[in-house]
Amino acid sequence: MTLNPWQRPKLPRPRGWNLVLCLSAVILHGGPLEPLSGQTVDSLAVVRGQVWDHGTSDPIAGAAVSLASGPGGTEGLGTRVTNDEGRFLFRNVPLGSYRIVVTFIGYRTLADTLIVDSGSDFDLELPLSISPIELEALVVVTERRRLGPMLGFEERRRTRSGTFIDREEIEARNATLFSDLLRMVPGARVIPSGPYGNTVRLRGNCRPVLWVDGIPLLTEEGMDDILRPLDLEAIEVYRGASLPVEFGSNPCGAILVWTRRGEAQEGEGSFWRKFGMALGMLSLVLLIS
C-alpha cells in the first residue's frame, strides 16, 4: 500500500523540544516507516515534516526549508515552502549527510545536520523561535517652540534693536522682584515709587508703556506685586523708535512682558487674577486716602 505523506495520525507536539538531527533523523513512529511503493530501503528516501511556532505550537506557513549536501552544503536538493499547515516534502532523497536549514522572517534560523542512512520516510518536527529584531538606537531631538504671543519673540530678537531677556537668563539672575530684572538693562533706571514699590524709567525720566502678554497696562506702578520672576517667560525692552509698531508709538518706548504657561504657573490666567486683585487694592487705597 502506498503511504500518503500528508495523511498520518496527529501526534501530540512536545513543547520546548529542541531539534536533534545529529547522527540520524527523528522518526516519530518509533522506527523506520515502510518504504514508499517503487523504492527500496537502500536507495531513495522521502523527507517530510512540519514547521511550527515553538511558543504557540501554531503551524508556520511560508517558511523556507532547504536541503543540501556536500562540503559546505553546496549541492542542494532545492528549497520547499511550507503550506498552510506548515508542512513540506522532499521526494527521492539519496542516502547521505545533509544540511537542513529553515528560515522565516521574524524567527531564528534553524540549521542542523540530517543523516539519511536508509530509504525510509523521514518525518521531522521543526520548531522555530521568535527572533527579536535589534534596531539602532532611536535618538529623538525636540525643539522648544514659542506659542501664542511668544511666536514673534525670537524673530524680534533677531531683527530688532532692544534688550531681550529669556527664561534662562531670568533663572540665572535669581531675582526676587520683577524690577530687579530691569536693573541691568542699558538706559533703564529703577526707582522707588512710594507705597507702590519700584517703578522704571527709560532715557532719564521717560515713562515706558508696560505690556503684559500683548495687553497694555495703564501704569507700571505696583508691577512688583503682580509680576513675579517665577511667572515670567521673557522680557523685551525697547527705547524710542526701536519699538515695533504693533506695540504702539510711545516715543519713550515700552517694556513687553510674557508670562509662562503650564506647570510653572499656578494655573492658566494666574497673572490676570493677581492683576485684578492688585487693581482692586489700589482702588481701595485711593478711596480711603
CB 178 within 8 A of CB 200: no
Tell me: do 111 and 169 sit in the same domain. Answer: no
Tell me: do 181 and 244 sit in the same domain. Answer: yes
Q: Identify the CA nearest to 107 among candidates 82, 136, 75, 77.
A: 82
Is 134 inside any structural domain? no
What mean pLDDT is predicted for residues 23-28?
A: 36
CA 40 remoteness from chain centre:
62
Tell me: do 97 and 206 sit in the same domain. Answer: no
Residues 10, 283: Cα–Cα separation, whole Å: 93
pLDDT of residue 289: 53
pLDDT of residue 275: 53
What mean pLDDT is predicted for residues 261-287?
A: 52
What mean pLDDT is predicted for residues 255-282?
A: 60
Largest CA distance in the chain: 122
Report pLDDT digits (tens) over 26-69: 333 333 334 444 445 467 899 999 999 999 999 999 999 999 98
Tell me: do 152 and 116 sit in the same domain. Answer: no
The string of DSSP letters for the chain reads -PPPTT----PPPPTTPPP--SSS---TTSSPPPPPTT--TTSEEEEEEEEEETTT--B-TT-EEEEEESGGG-EEEEEEE--TTSEEEEEEEESEEEEEEEE-TTB--EEEEEEE-SSSEEEEEEEE-B-PPP-PPP---------GGGGGHHHHHHHS-SEEE-HHHHHHHT-SSTGGGGTTSTTEEEEE-GGG-EEEEETTTB-PEEEETTEE-S--TTHHHH--GGGEEEEEEEEGGGS-GGG---SSEEEEEEE--GGGSSSTTHHHHHHHHHHHHHHHHHHH-
Tell me: do 167 and 284 sit in the same domain. Answer: yes
CB 52 within 8 A of CB 125: yes
Is 140 inside any structural domain? no
129, 160, 189 — which closes off a domain?
A: 129
Question: Above 80 in pLDDT, residue 117?
Answer: yes
pLDDT of residue 263: 46
What mean pLDDT is predicted for residues 217-231?
A: 81
Tell me: do 9 and 66 sit in the same domain. Answer: yes
Question: Above 90 in pLDDT, residue 194?
Answer: no
Tell me: do 114 and 63 sit in the same domain. Answer: yes
pLDDT of residue 248: 85
Tell me: do 166 and 265 sit in the same domain. Answer: yes
Question: Above 60 in pLDDT, residue 197?
Answer: yes
pLDDT of residue 15: 44
Range of the domain at 231: 148-288
Question: Above 60 in pLDDT, residue 125?
Answer: yes
Q: Identify the CA nearest to 46 among candidates 55, 34, 54, 28.
A: 34
Task: Provide CB contacts within 8 A for 246, sequence distance 6+.
Answer: none
Q: Identify the CA nearest to 187 among candidates 163, 156, 223, 219.
A: 163
Please count the structural domains in the chain.
2
pLDDT of residue 5: 42
106 vs 132, higher pLDDT: 106
Tell me: do 280 and 217 sit in the same domain. Answer: yes
Question: What mean pLDDT value characterizes the chain?
Answer: 76
CA atoms within a 13 Å half-sphere pointing along the CA-CB vector of 164 = 15
pLDDT of residue 75: 66
Tell me: do 240 and 165 sit in the same domain. Answer: yes
165 vs 217, higher pLDDT: 165
Residue 103: Cβ within 10 Å count: 16
Backbone angles phi, psi at 192, to 5 degrees: -65, 150
pLDDT of residue 196: 65
Is 135 inside any structural domain? no
pLDDT of residue 280: 55
125 vs 72, higher pLDDT: 125
Question: Above 50 in pLDDT, residue 110?
Answer: yes
219 vs 79, higher pLDDT: 79
Which amino acid, 89? L
Is 141 inside any structural domain? no
Report pLDDT digits (tens) over 228-265: 899 999 999 998 878 888 888 888 889 999 998 754 44
Is 91 inside any structural domain? yes
pLDDT of residue 222: 74
The domain that holds 61 is classified in CATH as 2.60.40.10
Tell me: do 49 and 172 sit in the same domain. Answer: no
pLDDT of residue 35: 43
Tell me: do 161 and 263 sit in the same domain. Answer: yes
